Amino acid sequence: SMILAVDIGGTKIAVALVSNGQIRAREQISTPSSSSPEAMTAALSALLPAFAAQADAVAVASTGIIDHGILTALNPKNLGGLDHYPLQAVIAEITRLPVTVINDAQAAAWAEYQVLPEQVANMAFVTVSTGVGAGVVINHALHTGRHGIAGHAGHMLADPHGPRCGCGRTGCVEAIASGTAIGVAGQAHWGENCTGQTVYEHYLQGDERAVVIIHRAAKTIANLVADLTISLDVEVVALGGSVGLAPGFLDLVSDYLSDLPQVYQPLVIKAQTGADAGLIGAASWVNTTNN
Ligand code: BMX
Ligand code: ZN
């Protein structure tokens, strides 16, 4: 069957037709910057109908907490504060197709789990992107949680004296290591238009101020990987997201991990499905839940 896969992130919305795990057609727009409920519905209404005409079902991976098809931003700064937005119902109304929705990092974890080079029972996926997201597979099953919260490890404590996170807690991993946080840290040096990408370019050119910011982020992600390993006994952690996949970032995370005792060190790999992890994972999750 032909699945219309949709990946709603803090920065972009990607859509594709997916059949047998293969992406057939792909289109991408920027996430509406106002991201009010009305702007989100308008963007989806413009984007989806052309694809829906060729699909049998819709599979959505979205940033935010997805509780029974309803989207609430944990970090409202990442998605314009969508609060109890009826994502599943909105897309069903637009497409007139059956719609399944899960969190983007959970979907990506499911995609990455299917393509692991070696079969393991327990693994995690961590995305370092607009936010920091994660998904965990425990005993071969994706763990979504009763309220869709499972895996929101970007909001575990990294530093009690760290910056306040958009979720309202102080010192979350996301407030230090996300692309957004990296950009904010760079604003002191490169002005208010500085983004995570700006800082990363300076880092690649060897700028010492950028080195400090990127090392702090990588060390924070290494500690997150260690925490997931010591709490869940994950054997593999796949790293994705625009920062996670940026040149040299995974090596830096691996370096910081190697300073820790062996028991904290899983195999850390680059996400095999790259930027398509959410699309492929959502599509394959539909088949999992239907079977
Ligand atoms: C945030 C949170 C997670 C998401 C993660 C990565 C919101 C809107 N999102 O922690 O649900 O999985 O960001 O999201 O609160 P991305 O947009 O960076 O892919
Ligand atoms: Zn937080």
Ligand positioned closest to the Cα atom of 154:
1
Ligand positioned closest to the Cα atom of 135:
1
Taking the C-alpha atoms of 280, 249, 197 and 179 in order, what is their torsion angle to the nearest 10 degrees?
70
For the chain, counts of helices (H) and of strands (E): 11, 12
Please tell me the predicted confidence (pLDDT) of residue 290: 62
How many angstroms from the chain centroid is the CA of residue 26?
19
Distance 180 CA to ligand 1 centre (A): 11
Distance 205 CA to ligand 2 centre (A): 30
Please tell me the predicted confidence (pLDDT) of residue 33: 73
> What does the pLDDT look like over 41-89, one tens digit per residue?
999 999 999 999 999 999 999 999 999 999 999 998 888 778 899 999 9
Give the residue, 24 or 107, on which the prediction is more confident. 107
> Cα separation of 41 and 60, whole Å?
14
Q: Which residues are placed with Cβ below 5 angstroms of ligand 2, an ion?
A: 155, 165, 167, 169, 172
Average pLDDT over residues 95-117: 96
Please tell me the predicted confidence (pLDDT) of residue 36: 85
Is the confidence at residue 267, as pLDDT, over 60?
Answer: yes
β-pair partners for 128:
132
Q: Among 31, 62, 66, 74, which residue has the most ligand 1 atoms within 8 Å of its CB, making it the best to mutate?
A: 74
Its pTM stands at 0.96
> What does the pLDDT look like over 215-236, one tens digit per residue?
999 999 999 999 999 999 999 9
Is the confidence at residue 37, as pLDDT, over 60?
Answer: yes
274 CB neighbour count, 10 Å cutoff: 11
Q: Are 214 and 225 in contact (CB under 8 A)?
A: no
Query: What percent of the residues of the chain are helix, what percent strand, and what percent coil, each to the nearest 5?
Result: 45, 25, 35
Average pLDDT over the chain, rounded to whole? 95
**Packing angle between helix 208-232 and helix 196-204, nearest 10 degrees?**
110
Confidence of residue 204 (pLDDT cuts 50, 70, 90): very high
Strands 123-128 and 132-138 come out as antiparallel
Please tell me the predicted confidence (pLDDT) of residue 227: 98
H or E segment to which residue 103 belongs: strand 99-103
27 CB neighbour count, 10 Å cutoff: 12
Strands 123-128 and 99-103 come out as unpaired
Average pLDDT over residues 5-33: 92
Please tell me the predicted confidence (pLDDT) of residue 10: 86
β-pair partners for 109:
none
Please tell me the predicted confidence (pLDDT) of residue 56: 96
- Nearest alpha carbon to residue 131 among 145, 152, 150: 152
Nearest-CA residue for ligand 1 atom 12 is 133
Distance 152 CA to ligand 1 centre (A): 8
Is the confidence at residue 259, as pLDDT, over 80?
Answer: yes
Distance 75 CA to ligand 1 centre (A): 7
> What does the pLDDT look like over 149-200, one tens digit per residue?
999 999 999 999 999 999 999 999 999 999 999 999 999 999 999 999 999 9
For the chain, give the percent of residues with pLDDT over 70. Answer: 99
